[in-house]
Amino acid sequence: MLRFTEDHEWLQLDGDVATVGITAFAAEQLGDLVYVELPKPGAKLTKGSAAAVVESVKAASDVYAPLSGEVVEVNEAAAADPASIGADPQGAGWLYRMRLDDVSAMDGLMDEAAYADISK
């Protein structure tokens, strides 16, 4: 199940673990990414709180926790090469994985069609 937030994050659910990243639209708006700060594995995230930071030559932007849960893995390759996030934001450029407190909360997020309407 793929879902999107109004803050331009995407989530791909596998069981009770969601892979989280920024959308292609967000990556395009930011431009060339030069730095990323990821959450620590084991960190408890609350929906809407700052979870990561992506910095481009244009600006630094917070990446917000789309739902509440615990970080179980981070993408070390993306941290080592922030440009990879922009090159494949909804693939190899994922940021972190989190075990969701409530999987049913995914239902409150946008599907791809709804997200496409707000990211024009």
In this predicted model, what pLDDT tens digit does every residue of 72-115 receive, in sequence order? 999 999 999 999 999 999 999 999 999 999 999 999 999 999 99
Helices (H) and strands (E) in the chain, counts: 4, 9
Per-residue pLDDT for 42 more than 90? yes
What's the domain range around 79?
Answer: 2-118
Domains identified in the chain, total number = 1
The pTM for the full model equals: 0.95
What pLDDT shows up at residue 58? Answer: 85
Residue 56 sits in a domain of what CATH number? 2.40.50.100
